[in-house]
Structures are given as C-alpha cells and as structure tokens.
Copies of this chain bind each other. A is one copy, B any other.
C-alpha cells in the first residue's frame, strides 16, 4: 500500500487543502517532512471508523465515499470526497478516533499527515486555526442540513437531492458517471435499494432524468429541483 512520495513539496502542491495557504515556509517544511503517500484501489478502505485517528488525510486524486457504519451492518453515506478536502472527522478532537469510514470509489492516491503536526500548527498559527474552525463548521452545518433532509423529506425528495448533489457538487455537469450502486445510493438517501430503482424508474418515465446503471443525465433540472424542495 505505501509508496514513496511523489510530490516534492506541499508548498507547491495544488491538490491539497485550501487552508494550507495560511502556512509559513517553515510550516510547509514541517508538514512536508511528516507526510506519506499511499494509493488505494477501488473499494479499499482508507479510513476505518473507530480506529485511532492519527492522521489527517487528503486525496491527491480519485474519489472516495465517506460513510458511517451504523446498526446491523447498515451504512449511511455522508458524502463523496475528492482532492482538496480534509478527511479526519470531528472524532479527532474528542476521543482521537475516526468517526466515519472512507472507502475508495475510483483509484485513489492519498497523502497522510500526522495529526500531532496539524495540532502544532493550529496552536502556532492563528490564521490556520481559524481556517480549521471554518472547515469544521462547514462540515457540521452540512451534516445538520443532511439530517433535516433525511428526516423531513420523502424518498422522492431525498433521491432528487442526491442526484443534484452529484450534478452540482461532485461533477459540475448535468451528465455524469453514476459511481455508486443502487444499494449505495440507498445508503446515501436512507432508502432500500429497491425503492431507489423504482423511483429512478419513475423519474425516467417522467422524462426528468435519463439513467443507466452507470450514468445519469439530468433532462429536467427544474422539475428535479421542485421535487427535491417539496420533499
């Protein structure tokens, strides 16, 4: 799994965290000395929920799913993550455990940075700390919003929203590769895979989307938005 570092220095790496822009040259140096790269094949686990959270992880390339392992083997997919995103979770600052799992969807190249180093920088660099707080807050807000969606919307609304999430936040296109299976789409929207299939079928009949098992094209974004909002 572990490979030699491919990137010369974080300072000139365009694929890591935007909050690194606040670092001084020395801090870059420090982080650069304490990082390791690894690559993962599709479906391999990058972060395992419950294990000690010793590293902050950034994807350099590829796409991964972030999910909680719940009761009776049931997962809840929180979001998809690509490059420029900090993967660690709030558990780091509470009980030093990862509070979610992350698994590669495509081939993934990842950068591991020891969290003690990150903590040092947080203490030493107020700008970085502020960025860190913003990042934590953004994620907390999204989770809160997701909870509202999952609890208050009906299946059609939740699925519509998931499709818009792919289109807007992951692929920035009305036509995209469907990287999740129907089962996983269900884990993301809290519904049974059969329901996902059924509702995707309904959306197709109403000419809202065109879907194959591996791809989706949004044909009527207005309608999809209405469904997503009306719940």
Contact = CB atoms under 8 A, between A and B. Distances in A.
A133 B132 contact: yes
A136 B134 CA distance: 10
A108 to B, nearest CB: 23
A6 to B, nearest CB: 31
A216 interface: no
Contact of A144 (B93, B141, B143, B151): B143
A78 B151 CA distance: 12
A99 B144 contact: yes
* Count class of interface residues, chain A: 35 or more
A43 interface: no
Contact of A122 (B76, B92, B126, B143): B126
A76 B148 contact: yes
A137 B71 contact: no
Given A126-B123, A144-B99, A92 B137 contact: yes
Interface string A109-128: 00000000001001110100
A140 B144 CA distance: 8
Nearest to A125: B126
Given A148-B68, A148-B70, A152-B71, A140 B136 contact: yes
Interface of A: 68, 70-72, 74, 76, 78, 90-94, 99-100, 119, 122-124, 126, 129-130, 132-134, 136-141, 143-144, 146-148, 150-153, 190, 229, 231
Nearest 5 Cβ contacts at the A-B interface: A90-B137, A93-B137, A90-B140, A140-B140, A123-B126
